[in-house]
Amino acid sequence: MWCNLPGPIMFVAVALIGTITLLRSDFDGVGPFEDGPTQAALEARFDDALILREVSIGFWGGVRWNLFHEAGSGAVAGDNDWLFTDEEYEALPGFEERLSDSLDTIAMVVSRFTADGVTVIPLLLPDKARIMREQVMAPRPPRVEARYDTLLAGLAEREVQVIDLRPVLSAVPQAYLRTDTHWTPEGARAVAGAIARPDVQVTAFATSKSTPVLHEGDLLAFVPTAPFPGPGAEALNTYDTIQRDSGLGADLFGDISIPGVLIGTSYSADSRWHFEGFLKDALEMDILNLAEEGAGPFAPIQAYLESEIYRDTPPEVVIWDIPERYTTLRQTTGDTP
């Protein structure tokens, strides 16, 4: 009988069997919770139930992905096995108020650094869905689509200079990872190049391409499909940046102990994207990376402004990455999807 079922129906039937098996799992034969053997039996049965639950989740995830091309809560399916975080679609009540508050915060931070004689470069990183729009299937709310222009206009009104990074990243063949929230190293390199200092003639740092690795993006956690096919892993290029002359920094910057500081999110903190190395190469200066994962863009910059390291050793330049979507997310939202 099974061999005569159409493929999709058989697919659903197998998943259903897994779920029914899980639901019928009970604790028959396990006596009162009195002794070690009873506890061990209970734990073994509980472990079996967890395994069945994981199998069931994988089956139903496979059904959603392979039959309906849907991701689980937390991700949005795109074309050609692309995934996007659902945070880039979020337009909850209070959207405009949070955007305005974020603009005020950015302006306040820039004003503080400027008053201290520190150059600050805010990097407003466009959404992945904005740059890789040819892979987007589900339309985004109009307010979200207009957000980057709104931010640029709001920063201009507050006399904060920022680079429009949309053309910079759009010029990269693949600026963002297919199954990950983050940019590719190539996207990070393009942004670093956009703030390079053309007046500096030295070559203190050099970057070279290394061996590619297989990368399973963070958004795959929202598309469990095992044992059936899913979006799959992708190739990730890796890079190395070396300092050509260990004494060059002192010659260039005199008594400055920390020429540059990098603050922000996992776009900067995660070494796999190599943003720190690309900045060293582009700016020809050493960079202290104080970016944090899981904290968003605003908490780390506020903590740095209040830190002893800033008070005692102010840098020449601060580079601050601000992913666009965080300007309207609720502040309880972290840095990971």
Contact 169, 191 (CB under 8 A): yes
Contact 85, 40 (CB under 8 A): no
| Angstrom distance (rounded) from CA 104 to CA 113 | 14
245 is catalytic: no
Other CB atoms within a 10 A radius of the CB of residue 297 amount to: 28
Residues 6+ apart with CB under 8 A from 101: none
Catalytic residue among 127, 182, 268, 281: 182
List C-alpha distances in Å: 48 to 31, 45, 51, 53: 17, 5, 5, 9
Contact 257, 313 (CB under 8 A): yes
Contact 287, 260 (CB under 8 A): yes
Residues 6+ apart with CB under 8 A from 51: none
73 is catalytic: no
| Angstrom distance (rounded) from CA 286 to CA 246 | 10
| Angstrom distance (rounded) from CA 3 to CA 235 | 37
List the one residue out of 267, 134, 294 whose CA is nearest residue 188: 267
Catalytic residue among 266, 268, 274, 281: 266
List the one residue out of 305, 288, 206, 277 whose CA is nearest residue 253: 288
182 is catalytic: yes
Please give the DSSP secondary-structure letter assigned to residue 242: E
Q: Per DSSP, what are the bridge partners of residue 241?
A: 207
Please give the DSSP secondary-structure letter assigned to residue 309: H
Buried b (16+ CB within 10 A) or exposed e, 141-152: eeebeebbebbb
Catalytic residue among 127, 180, 218, 286: 180
Q: Please identify every residue annotated as catalytic.
A: 180, 182, 266
